[in-house]
Amino acid sequence: MTDRRRVAAIGLLAALVCASACSQELADAAASTTQDEQPSASADLAPAKNASLGAAPAVQERPRGVAGELEQSRTTAIVRAAQRVAPAVVSISVIRTQRVPARTRYERLFMPPLQRSAGFGSGVIVRSDGIVLTNDHVITGADQIRVTLPGGRDFDATVIGSDPVSDIAVLRIVGENLPSAPIGTVEGLMIGEWALAIGNPLGNYASDTKPTVTAGVISAAGRNIVPSSEDASFYFGMIQTDASINPGNSGGPLVNAAGEVIGINASIISRSGGSEGLGFAIPIDRAMRIADDLVRTGEVIRAWVGIEVEPLDADQWGRTHGVRISRVVDGSPGGVAGLEPGDRLLTANGRTLTGPLDFEGVLLDLRAGDRLTLNVEGQNRPVSLETISYPSVTAERVTVLRDIQLISVTPQIQAERDLVSESGALVTAISDRLSEQLGLRENDVILQINRMRVRTADETAQAFEAVRGTGRVAIIFEHDGGRYVREFYWRR
């Protein structure tokens, strides 16, 4: 081997030895690094000595600023309004004794003619001395009335008075430290503003007496409600809301976002029997005025002007504008003001009149001494007159079947007489005395006496018997296609 070849071989051998040594160092270093970084499999799979499979994760505390903002956002105006009124909302339980007619021979032999039944509703304390507002239909015919506060305190209630026309009743409870709800007004009520219905829709079925709260908006104002299959009563100038009002809510308050009572829940329109977004409340201004009359005098002092109105003929679209005066009592405020039968009234106290119910609703909100301003078609200036107290008419010991002859409305009679009502009691004859006192005439149809809807002549006779000598009586009847309300006093 030449010297040149020997030198090249020695260089190549040295390079191979160096490369082998470097590779071993790199492998050892990599193995060492991998062993250091690789987590222990036994440590990863073995459970901790004190670990629990059901342990909940620790709740992290919210940052103080975030917690405050969240709490503030949860406490909305609706929450504050409910907190302000709910303590004064009560549950009302009633016991009634009713005469139940026997339907079979077995019932005549074994069923008692008088049976006890229970009912429930809601109410609201409006004065700290124990004055409670509710609906007349909640307590009508009750032998016992029990009022329960949200905290569970029970009280026996006494009836101060009630008004079947407006469906308002006033109760009194006696106790200490009674809460009362702030009272608002319907003046300035805005369509679309928030509204809360508070009450006790579950009645005795709930395990506690705390009221429930539902929220919605004011859907409309000044609504007139005519009898239906769900409610056989007239209501005038009602507040409409889509806040859920269910059976048992009757008598509870309708509340605005400021936490003020603006109405007393009274009626719903529903095909299912539950809330369908069509609830109605009595304006609180009217309810408080009636309550004040009942507390002070024991009766409602209604305004009277001595005129009766009837609907006008509808246009081609079925709409009417205004009402026509059908009768003016001599010497009455209306007569003194120069109003005459045939005059057409367009507005009353600024309210547009589309039918007789609008006019009745305006009168319902007036007291004796209040002024009534009428816009009469064809006159350049409004007619203003001062209302007086409703004349006290006494109809003592009226025997219905002697002074008034009635027949039940049937489909045949409805067609023959061109009646609007499909049921009721048709007046076929009436004495002059009662005609003047009650405002009824032949061919009128009696539809309701106080809160009792009547569908036949027999039911009407029974209703007259039930209200005999009870004081103020309201009759709702059809006359010439329109519906009217007439009140009179029936003393013993």
What's 151's domain CATH number?
Answer: 2.40.10.10
203 part of a folded domain: yes
Cβ 165 vs Cβ 452: under 8 Å: no
328 part of a folded domain: yes
The answer for residues whose C-beta is within 8 angstroms of residue 20's C-beta and 6 or more apart is: none
Place 251 in a pLDDT band, splitting at 50, 70 and 90.
very high
340 part of a folded domain: yes
Question: What tokens appear for 28 in the block?
Answer: 């050892």
Residue of 122, 219, 250, 326 marked active site: 250
Task: Tell the burial category of 56 from Cβ atoms under 10 Å away from its Cβ (0-12, 13-18, 19+).
Answer: exposed
Q: Is the pLDDT of residue 70 over 90?
A: no
**Is residue 364 domain-shared with residue 449, that is, in the same domain?**
no
Q: How far apart are CA 353 and CA 347, in angstroms?
A: 5
**Is residue 199 domain-shared with residue 292, that is, in the same domain?**
yes
Q: How far apart are CA 322 and CA 359, in angstroms?
A: 9
Q: Is the pLDDT of residue 45 over 50?
A: no
**Helices and strands of the chain, counted as H and E runs:** 13, 27
207 part of a folded domain: yes
Q: Of 454, 437, 436, whose CA–CA distance to 445 is shortest?
A: 454
Question: What tokens appear for 316 in the block?
Answer: 């081609």
142 part of a folded domain: yes
**Is residue 337 domain-shared with residue 281, that is, in the same domain?**
no
Cβ 257 vs Cβ 194: under 8 Å: yes
Domain termination residue (choose one: 297, 318, 337): 297
**Is residue 382 domain-shared with residue 407, that is, in the same domain?**
no
Domain termination residue (choose one: 265, 297, 329): 297
Q: Is the pLDDT of residue 110 over 80?
A: no
Q: Measure Cα distances from 117 to 93, 94, 95, 145, 359 in Å.
A: 11, 8, 6, 12, 38
Cross-strand pairs, 95 = 118, 144
Q: Is the pLDDT of residue 429 over 90?
A: no
Mean pLDDT of 156-165: 91
Q: Is the pLDDT of residue 21 over 70?
A: no
Mean pLDDT of 431-440: 80
Mean pLDDT of 127-150: 92
Q: At 304, is the secondary structure helix, strand, or coil?
A: strand
Domain termination residue (choose one: 337, 358, 389): 389
220 part of a folded domain: yes
Mean pLDDT of 461-469: 79
Mean pLDDT of 409-433: 77
User: What is the residue-averaged pLDDT of the chain?
Assistant: 79
Mean pLDDT of 265-274: 70
**Is residue 209 domain-shared with residue 281, that is, in the same domain?**
yes
Residue of 91, 93, 122, 137 marked active site: 137
Concerning whether 479 is annotated as a catalytic residue, the answer is no
Q: Identify the pLDDT of residue 375.
A: 93
**Is residue 283 domain-shared with residue 342, that is, in the same domain?**
no
H/E element, 310 = strand 307-311
- Radius of gyration in angstroms for the set of CA atoms belonging to the chain, rounded to a whole number: 38
Check which CATH number belongs to the domain holding 355 and give it. 2.30.42.10
Looking at per-residue pLDDT, the higher value among 270 and 200 belongs to 200
Which percentage of the chain shows pLDDT scores above 90? 35
Mean pLDDT of 432-460: 85
186 part of a folded domain: no
Most confident of 94-98, 210-214, 282-286, 438-442: 282-286
Q: How far apart are CA 303 and CA 364, in angstroms?
A: 7
32 part of a folded domain: no
Q: Phi and psi dihedrals of 304, rounded to 5?
A: -140, 135
Q: How far apart are CA 332 and CA 329, in angstroms?
A: 6
Q: Of 48-57, 134-143, 306-315, 482-491, which gets the smallest average pLDDT?
A: 48-57
**Is residue 407 domain-shared with residue 345, that is, in the same domain?**
no
Cβ 358 vs Cβ 484: under 8 Å: no
Q: Identify the pLDDT of residue 44.
A: 42
Most confident of 100-109, 193-202, 255-264, 431-440: 255-264
Looking at per-residue pLDDT, the higher value among 205 and 279 belongs to 279
Mean pLDDT of 23-30: 46
Place 360 in a pLDDT band, splitting at 50, 70 and 90.
confident
Q: Of 180-194, 307-321, 393-407, which gets the smallest average pLDDT?
A: 393-407
Q: Is the pLDDT of residue 383 over 70?
A: yes
Residue of 93, 122, 136, 167 marked active site: 167
Q: How far apart are CA 367 and CA 251, in angstroms?
A: 23
Mean pLDDT of 482-488: 84
Q: Is the pLDDT of residue 348 over 90?
A: yes
**Is residue 272 domain-shared with residue 319, that is, in the same domain?**
no
pTM above 0.75, yes or no: no
Beta-carbon neighbour count of residue 307 at 10 Å?
26
Cβ 455 vs Cβ 490: under 8 Å: no
- Report the Cα 224 to chain-centroid distance in Å: 14
Looking at per-residue pLDDT, the higher value among 368 and 344 belongs to 344
Q: Measure Cα distances from 22 to 8, 272, 360 in Å.
A: 21, 91, 111
Q: Measure Cα distances from 59 to 56, 63, 137, 262, 392 in Å.
A: 9, 12, 52, 43, 73
Concerning whether 403 is annotated as a catalytic residue, the answer is no
Q: Is the pLDDT of residue 235 over 60?
A: yes
**Is residue 375 domain-shared with residue 410, that is, in the same domain?**
no
Q: Of 32-41, 176-185, 327-336, 474-483, which gets the smallest average pLDDT?
A: 32-41
Concerning whether 250 is annotated as a catalytic residue, the answer is yes
Q: Is the pLDDT of residue 353 over 70?
A: yes
Q: Identify the pLDDT of residue 126.
A: 97
**Structural domains in the chain (count):** 4
User: What b/e readout covers 99-116, taking b as 16+ CB neighbours within 10 angstroms?
Assistant: eeeeeeeeeeeeeeeeee
**Is residue 93 domain-shared with residue 118, that is, in the same domain?**
yes
**Is residue 289 domain-shared with residue 205, that is, in the same domain?**
yes
Place 203 in a pLDDT band, splitting at 50, 70 and 90.
low
What residues make up the domain containing 363? 303-389
**Is residue 322 domain-shared with residue 350, that is, in the same domain?**
yes
The answer for residues whose C-beta is within 8 angstroms of residue 478's C-beta and 6 or more apart is: 419, 420, 421, 424, 444, 445, 447, 484
